[in-house]
Chain A
Amino acid sequence: MENFYQILEHVTDLKIKVSGKTLMDLFKNAGLALFYSLDSRSQIPEMSGSVRTVAIKSADRESLLVDWLSELLALHDIHNENYFEINITELTDTSLSAEIRGTTSTQDRFDVKGATYHDLKIEKTNEGFEAIVLFDI
């Protein structure tokens, strides 16, 4: 497990605490934490897929995080890829652009059905930023 995220106890779903030195790091790490959590392989292979661009606009910072993770889930489902190369190229409180590259997903641990707003928090910490996200699985 990478040290930028932690899986918290939750009876039914996948609850992740993720951190980053900057907001850009936080958004990148939230995406990576999602794929580290669902990919069952102990060794992640080289990213072999195409570079995909993502552009999102949302109402506020929290919505932007949910929308970003939802977009990653949709691309994961459509292309059967897990994204471990994530480059956030632009980030404001209401918009995000990114380039991502994935590896074919052959054995996922579970379907992540959705990124939810439940208990969603993005907070400034002494080290940077921290977020808690609950995924429906």
Chain B
Amino acid sequence: MQNFKKIDDFLYEIPRTEPMRVPARFYSNDEMLVKIQDDRSLSQLANVATLPGIQKYALAMPDIHEGYGFPIGGVAAFDLDEGIISPGGVGYDINCGIRLLTTKMSGEEIQPHLVNFLNQLQRDIPSGVGSSGAFTATPEDLERILNIGARWALEKGFATEHDIEHTENHGSIEFADAATVGNTAKRRGHDQLGTLGSGNHFLEVQKVIKIFDKITADAFGLFEDQIVIMIHTGSRGLGHQVCTDYVKLFNANLPKFKFVLPDRELACAPINSEEGQNYLKAMSAAANFAWTNRQMITYFVRNVWSEIMLRDASELKLIYDVAHNIAKIEEHEIEPGKTKKMCVHRKGATRAFPPHHPEIPGDYQDEGQPVLIPGSMGTSSYVLAGTKEAMNQTFGSVCHGAGRVMSRGEAKRRIFASNISLKKQLEDQGIIVRCRSNRGLAEEAPLAYKDIDSVVQVVADTGLARKVAQLKPLGVVKGE
């Protein structure tokens, strides 16, 4: 059992003990705290605090749960001279993330078209799992996608300038280098653009059911009863292979780096080593691939919109696209009045930058970065706005979702024990689901997750982000 103490209403600290280099901190309410102690997420968080060059605290958001190496919901920043970079601090699905598109349609207006719209989305945007992809990139295109990300989609007419401006990093990390991505990763990724993947990845048609902050909602283009479309996916097999390749490389080089690690999935390299720099470049290239993937899905969604709704596809405006599995070089205040560049790892955590930050779009400068938090299937999702408090406490980071509390096997057993199928239960709540198997559906049942409302409320109550809007799903297309 990991020892910790309460710092304030929603903040807890694991004091520094050997071999931790810094204390660890996590956010929770009393109810979620019980669940957090059921798994090994806190000892995993303490392990992160042992890594060389870690700054201030190893942090975890209220959706923390057990992963491998780093816990899910983990945030850690490392010094650029003495610190490390770790694929385990990013995860296999590099730049898994969320984007949200607004429409001008109301909940009532979409109802007659909703089933057709969902059916066509399912047809045109394949999961890519056991099926061919929606788009096959030539080797030349793939190199360019890895190097310049979603800007490639702009060059090819699959994106608008507005899309690029409203994507984290403009959908392109300049540091990326396709040459550091192995051939196997490229072979896996070349026909996976425009595919969702499976598991908790999804496309959702949602309705804005509550506006918490009208001024910010106006700036983001959100209004009550509005239909919005959420896309959740990542870098597919290409990103998985980049992680696999560099975990192998780093593990083989641990003796050279003189690292002794409590978990081999914490495999890491000095960030200023050749190996560390190559991972940063390859991970950035995979992130570029993921942004392009979400952009291609956006392109296909727009096509389906105009085909089924007989409305102009340009009506679908991107609010924002944000990563929640990534490591990036960012500048943060390390002590009052003193900032420095560091490598911030977010594994199941969302960047949440405050108003007037140079990296957020011009039209959101007064409001802060849109922070997109998906709920579990059938539950609400949220739009939040970044604050200065997150910069002070969490290197500008908040939660990424609800966070699992139950295994897939247990979720299935509970759902199948009920006489009413989950699909029917969701339909009774006004949610249409398009999914190829009841088993896959049951594994992602809401009961397998923490209560998203509580997770978001902890973030709001601590001031890490402001609540802007609550979204209710009307239709879900799942990869499996």
Interface residues of A (CB under 8 A from B): 7, 9-14, 40, 58-59, 62-63, 66-67, 70, 73-74, 77-78, 80, 105-111, 113-120, 134, 136-137
Q: Contacts A111-B240, A113-B240, A117-B265 known; list 12 others, CB within 8 Å.
A: A9-B410, A11-B65, A11-B405, A40-B440, A73-B244, A111-B129, A114-B92, A115-B244, A118-B68, A134-B68, A136-B91, A137-B199
The listed residue with most B CB atoms (<10 A of its CB), out of A73, A113, A119, is A113
> Count the B residues whose beta carbon is within 8 Å of the partner chain — how many?
48
Chain B residues positioned under 8 Å from A110 (CB to CB): 129, 198-199, 440, 443, 480
> Do residues B264 and A118 form an inter-chain contact, with CB atoms below 8 A?
yes
Q: How far is the CB of B32 from chain A (nearest CB, A)?
A: 14
Q: Which residues of A contact B480 (CB under 8 A)?
A: 108-110
Tell me the bound Cα distance from A91 to B173 in angstroms: 42
Tell me the complex Cα distance, A74–B405, Å: 29
A14 to chain B, nearest CB (A): 8
Select from chain B the residue with minimum beta-carbon distance to A104. Answer: B130
Q: List 10 A-B contacts (CB under 8 A).
A: A12-B67, A40-B437, A74-B187, A74-B188, A113-B93, A113-B243, A116-B69, A117-B247, A118-B68, A136-B91
- Residues on B lying within 8 angstroms of A by beta carbon are 39, 65-69, 72, 91-93, 129-132, 184, 187-188, 197-199, 236-237, 240-241, 243-244, 247-248, 251-252, 263-265, 267, 404-410, 436-437, 439-440, 443, 479-480
Complex contacts, A119 vs chain B, CB 8 Å: 68
Q: Is the pair A111, B198 in contact by a Cβ cutoff of 8 Å?
A: yes
Known: A11-B65, A67-B248. A107 touches B130 (CB 8 A): yes
Q: Which residues of A contact B263 (CB under 8 A)?
A: 117-118
Residues of A within 8 A of B132 (CB): 80
Contacts of B267 in A (CB 8 A): 117
Nearest Cβ on chain B to A38's Cβ, whole angstroms: 9
In the bound complex, CA of A113 to CA of B238 (Å): 10
A136-B39 Cα distance, complex, nearest whole Å: 17
List of B residues within 8 angstroms of A114 by Cβ: 92, 240, 243-244, 247
Known A-B contacts A11-B406, A12-B65, A13-B68; the reply to A59 vs B251 at CB < 8 A is yes
Closest CB in chain B relative to A37 CB, distance in Å: 11
In the bound complex, residues from chain B placing their C-beta under 8 Å from that of A80 are 130, 132
Point out which of A9, A59, A77 has the most chain B C-beta atoms below 10 A from its C-beta.
A77
CB within 8 Å: A-B pair count: 118
In the complex, which of the residues A9, A108, A115 contacts B409, with contact meaning CB atoms closer than 8 Å? A9
Contact of B187 among A78, A106, A117 (CB under 8 A): A78
**Would B129 and A11 count as touching, CB distance under 8 A?**
no
In whole angstroms, how far apart are the Cα atoms of A125 and B131 in the complex? 40
List of 5 A-B pairs having minimum Cβ-Cβ separation, nearest first: A118-B68, A117-B264, A113-B92, A114-B92, A77-B237
Residue of A nearest to B187 (CB): A78
Q: Are B198 and A77 in contact (CB under 8 A)?
A: no
Check A9 against B407 for contact (C-beta < 8 Å). Answer: yes
Contact: B92 with A74, CB < 8 Å?
no
A33 to B55, CA, bound (A): 41
Most buried by A among B91, B129, B241, B252: B129
B95 to chain A, nearest CB (A): 13
Chain A residues closer than 8 Å to B405, beta-carbon distance = 11
* A116 touches which of B236, B265, B407 (Cβ 8 Å): B265
A75 to chain B, nearest CB (A): 9
Q: Are B409 and A109 in contact (CB under 8 A)?
A: no
Q: Smallest Cβ distance from B219 to chain A, in angstroms?
A: 35
CB distance from B361 to the nearest CB of A (A): 31
Question: When the two chains form their complex, are residues A107 and B68 in contact, meaning their CB atoms are under 8 A apart?
Answer: no
Are A111 and B199 in contact, with the CB atoms below 8 A? yes
Distance (whole angstroms) from the CB of A133 to the closest CB of chain B = 11
Q: In the bound complex, what is the Cα–Cα distance between A77 and B248 (angstroms)?
A: 19
A9, A63, A107: the one within 8 Å of B251 (CB): A63
Q: Is the CB of A70 within 8 A of B244?
A: yes
Give Cα distance in the complex from A87 to B184, angstroms. Answer: 22
Looking at the assembled complex, report how far the CB atom of A35 sits from the nearest CB atom of chain B, in whole angstroms.
Answer: 12
CB-CB < 8 A to A108: which residues of B? 129-130, 198, 480
With A78-B187, A108-B480, A109-B480: A136-B92 Cβ-Cβ less than 8 Å? yes
Quote the shortest CB–CB distance from A36 to chain B (angstroms): 14
CB neighbours of B251 from chain A (8 A): 59, 63, 117
The smallest C-beta distance from A74 to any residue of chain B, in angstroms, reads 5
Q: Which B residues touch A14, using CB under 8 A? A: 408
In Å, the complex CA distance between A9 and B410 comes to 8
B439 touches A12 (CB 8 A): no
